[in-house]
Amino acid sequence: MPPSPVHATTSSPSEDDDLELNLDEDFFASLDETAWQKLEQHAEPVETGPPAHCIPGPSSSPIGFQKANGKRLARPSALAMEQAAKRLRLHEDDVASADMMDSTFQPASSGSSSSLCSPKTPSMIPQHGSFVAKATTTATPAMATPPRTPGPMGRKTPRPLSLHRRTTLTPSPFRKPVLLGMTPRSLRTGLGSRANPAPFTPPFKKEAPPPSSQLALTQPPATPKPPPCVYDMSARDTSRLTYQQAGLCPRRQTVSTAQQSGVPAEVRILLCEPTKASQYVFAGVAPGTTCGPAEALSALHEAGGVRANLPWVTNHWSLLLWKLAAYVAANPASVSTYWTFDTVVEQLRYRYEREYHQKQYSAVKQLQEQLTPPTRPMVLCVHQILRYDDADDESASVVLQLTDGWYKIRAEVDAPMRRALERGRLRVGQKLGIMYAKLRSFAEGTPVLEALHTSDLVLTSNATSLVRWDTKLGFSRTPYFSSLGRLVPDGGMVGLLEVVIERLYPLGYLQATLDARGVPVYHNDPHSEDEEKERASAWDLQCQHAKEAMVVAAQRLDRAAAWLEARCAPVDYEGVARPDTTSLLTTLESCEGDPCEVLASLERDRHIPLASLGGALCAIRERIAALSAPGTDAYQAALDARCPPRHVRAFRIARVRDAYALRRVCRRSVQLTVWSPPPLTVGARYRVSRVVPTQLRSWRARDTPSDAFLATTSESCWRRIEAP
């Protein structure tokens, strides 16, 4: 039910009538039940006063929201209110699912209703720690101003300003009166000034520096002291093993099998829901104590990592626990080695040393802070799959949250990747090889911990592929190629292909015309190379005739200028008024007779006023200079007006195949349209980047013997590869 109208009384007791704000009931009826609940939760109690008088007017028409002049504001529509409530729900759901960054972790109480703190089955009880609930209220900052203590309630009126008056009868000593506009000498020098001020020193007098300062200038500057080492990187590099060497090979296993093999319950929970890693804390040494991100931050500060803060530790805490949980699940016997608080602190020290001391930034950090282009080949892992059922745009209904093991970034996916998610082909924990991605950011360079909700990657299926489980995350030194058999018509741009040319078709050409905006529009009317030579020869002949006509026009304008100079006073070319002489110049250039007779007839018929003769003469002189100076912009503009340039684009169709053998046989053949083709050779091996699918309705399944169609873009690059 909509609430009753809120009556607001005026604060001034001297006014005769109070105001009443009658809110429109239809406006509140447009809100759904969820929006009403949110409004009631955030609403502040309003003290209702005595009934007030209404504004004069007909009682049948509600007032609603009004301006100060009494005009009524148009209320939002029901659709707008529904969209606002939907966005509010999406925002709260997104905030609720985000990792905890700046709140202090505390052990959860025994009476918590969270499923993590009180699991339903005994087999899911954490053994080495516990999950704590996220804080619902924001902690008070340390520098916040404390609330003022309320004063006594007996005083209702403000205390009057007290005047400094003398209450004794002792006469004061005589003081010199201070006139208005004059400042006493004692106040000019300040409250703490000395009786004897320092002598005046000329501002331009240079004193000789002391010998100690001269000696300091001659000595070389001292080398800054290096920061304390938080982690010994030399020992790390020598003892580093691969996953296969360490025996950490992933395998599929059921919950009962994992439980029997000794995998802790918290490890199984984190592998199913990686976002809960930020809520996990280890059990402390003392009974009833825990070790979480706050304790890890203290340990990092004690080791010398003073630049780290709680958001930085919390971000790495959740990702490190997810990685260590995978280690323990692959090798349950190593639970005492990996699943400890000391191991996490050691990993934090290693990351602090690399990022803050050695300035070795991860791939996501470089992307979010725009230190490197997003077109580089990279490998990212799927950390979370976000689904929005109420999203208006289908492309925003599913969003991937990717990670390089250090930081997280969100990515938009296209239709083929959404279909792969629905079929279960793309899951959390899989690694993606990405080529030529795009970064869509709302700011230039944002710190990586603040850019999760302000920038995201735009992925295409044809430039993204699954990679092996042991592939190293981050930027890759080797590119990832897309095979012709796995391409889909709606998969967007293809990142990189390595193909062999089987056949080259003859060159073709397309000619374009300019639209109203001056943009060339190419028509689907290709012509051959021989016909293009004929059209180019005809256009060259037309340009030659246009240049000859420009020479003749310049001579005619020269005679017209001499006729005008004889009939008008000397002209100041910079200060004279310039009328519109376009039609006059066109008439003089295209006339077949004497241009002087044309000017005489125009003057006789008063088409050229006497006051405009000077301006016409200046315009004719400028036109003569433009027609007589080849190589200038004005000459080229005049030539383009007489002989418009041709907009021709060359293309060539090449039939290609994959340059390397595939496990799955593909019966599809591909026709690649090469725009502005470079020199190509049949049988040669090439790498071509950034091609797009064309003729989407003509594509068939990869097992069907049919043709697929691709085309290069203006950003495509060709590189010939020598056969091994």
- Would you place residue 67 in the very low, low, confident or very high pLDDT band (cuts 50, 70, 90)? low
What's 671's DSSP letter?
E
Q: Which spans in 331-397 are helix H? A: 335-338, 341-352, 363-368
Confirm if 411 and 400 have CB atoms less than 8 A apart. yes
CB-facing half-sphere around the CA of 604: CA atoms within 13 A: 6
- C-alpha–C-alpha distance, residues 616 and 86, integer Å: 67
User: What local confidence, expressed as pLDDT, does residue 557 receive?
Assistant: 87
Report the pLDDT averaged over residues 183-191.
46
> Over the chain, what is the mean pLDDT?
75
Q: How far apart are CA 35 and CA 81, in angstroms?
A: 9
SS3 275: helix
Residue from 375, 364, 371 nearest 402 by CA: 364
- Please report the pLDDT score of residue 101 as a whole number: 38
Smallest CA-to-CA distance from 677 within 648, 700, 653, 703 is with 653
**Does residue 10 surpass a pLDDT of 60?**
no
**What pLDDT score was predicted for residue 723?**
72
Mean pLDDT calculated for residue range 183-195: 47
Model confidence at 68, pLDDT cuts 50, 70, 90, reads low
Least confident of 34-48, 120-134, 654-668, 676-690: 34-48
The confidence band for 218, taking pLDDT boundaries of 50, 70 and 90, is low
Backbone angles phi and psi of 85, in degrees to 5: -65, -35
- pLDDT tens, 435-468? 999 999 877 888 999 999 889 999 999 999 999 9
Beta strands in 323-407 (DSSP E): 378-387, 398-403
Average pLDDT, stretch 223-241?
A: 74
Q: Examine the pLDDT at 479 and tell me if it is beyond 60.
A: yes
Q: Are 231 and 350 in contact (CB under 8 A)?
A: yes
Radius of gyration of the chain (CA): 41
Q: Which pLDDT value is given to residue 56?
A: 39
As a whole number, mean pLDDT of residues 388-411 equals 81
CA distance 329 to 383: 17
Amino acid identity of residue 191, one-letter, is L
pLDDT at 530 over 90: yes
Three-state SS for 284?
A: coil
Q: What percent of the chain has pLDDT over 90?
A: 38
| Biggest CA-to-CA distance, the chain | 121
The model's confidence at residue 366, banded by pLDDT at 50, 70 and 90, is very high
CA atoms within 13 A on the CB side of 262: 10
Query: How many Cα atoms within 13 Å fall on the side-chain side of residue 312?
Result: 18
Q: Token pair 């006023």 is at which residue?
A: 609
Q: Which 3 state secondary structure label does DSSP give 107?
A: coil
pLDDT at 685: 95
Say what the pLDDT of residue 569 is. Answer: 59
Long-range contacts of 707-711 (CB under 8 A, 24+ apart): 707/668, 707/669, 707/670, 707/671, 708/484, 708/487, 708/489, 708/668, 708/669, 708/670, 708/671, 709/670, 709/671, 709/673, 710/487, 710/494, 710/670, 710/671, 710/672, 710/673, 711/672, 711/673, 711/674, 711/675
Rounded mean pLDDT, 81-91: 59
Residue 125 confidence (pLDDT): 61
724 contacts 685 by C-beta, under 8 angstroms: no
Q: What pLDDT does residue 385 have?
A: 93
Q: Which domains does the chain have, with CATH numbers?
A: 247-357 (no CATH), 363-480 (2.40.50.140), 498-528+647-721 (2.40.50.140), 534-642 (no CATH)
482 pLDDT higher than 60: yes
pLDDT class of 722 with cuts at 50, 70, 90: confident
pLDDT the model gives residue 322: 95
Place of tokens 């049948």: 60
- Lowest-pLDDT choice from 413-417, 604-608, 694-698, 720-724: 604-608
Higher pLDDT, 67 or 2: 67
pLDDT at 367: 94
3-state secondary structure of 674: strand
What mean pLDDT do residues 276-302 have? 91
pLDDT band at 616 (very low <50, low <70, confident <90, very high): confident
Residue 449 is predicted with a pLDDT of: 93
**pLDDT average, residue stretch 269-277:** 91
- The dihedrals phi and psi of 41, each to the nearest 5 degrees, come to -70, -35
Sequential DSSP letters for 33-69: HHHHHHHHHHPPP----S--PPPSS-TTS---SB-TT
**Cβ atoms within 10 A of the Cβ of 516, count?**
5
- In degrees rounded to 5, what are phi and psi of residue 531? -65, -35
Q: Quickly state the pLDDT bin for 62 (edges 50, 70, 90).
A: very low
The conformation of residue 355, written as its DSSP 8-state character, comes to I
Identify the residue with better confidence: 498 or 444.
498
CA gap 638, 547 in Å, rounded: 9
DSSP secondary structure code for residue 484 in this structure:
G
Is 515 a residue whose pLDDT tops 90? no
At a CB cut-off of 8 Å and minimum separation 6, what does 527 contact? 508, 509, 511, 535
pLDDT (tens digit, 9 = 90+) per residue, 148-162?
444 434 444 344 433
Residue 476: predicted pLDDT: 94
69-98 average pLDDT score: 61
Residues whose CB falls within 8 Å of the CB of residue 269, separated by 6 or more in sequence, listed in order: 116, 124, 126, 131, 276
Position with higher pLDDT, 3 vs 79: 79
Higher-pLDDT residue of 37, 473 = 473
- For 622-665, how does the pLDDT look when each residue is reduced to its tens digit (9 = 90+)? 888 888 888 889 899 989 988 999 999 999 999 999 998 887 77
CB–CB of 270/328 below 8 Å? no
Q: Rounded CA gap, 536 and 533, in Å?
A: 5
Three-state secondary structure string covering 248-274: CCCCCCCHHHHHHCCCCHHHHHHHHCH
Contacts 24+ apart (CB under 8 A), 259-264: 259/123, 261/332, 262/332, 262/333, 262/335, 263/328, 263/329, 263/332, 263/335, 264/126, 264/127, 264/128, 264/328, 264/335, 264/339
- What is the pLDDT averaged over residues 265-278? 90
The pLDDT value recorded for residue 320 is 96
Q: Model confidence at 535, in pLDDT bands (50, 70, 90)? A: very high
pTM of the model: 0.67
CA distance 381 to 679: 40
- Structure-model confidence comparison of residues 252 and 144, the more confident one: 252
Provide the pLDDT for residue 69: 67
What pLDDT, on the 0 to 100 scale, is given for residue 87? 52
124 touches 269 (CB < 8 A) = yes
Cα 430 from Cα 383, distance rounded (Å): 8
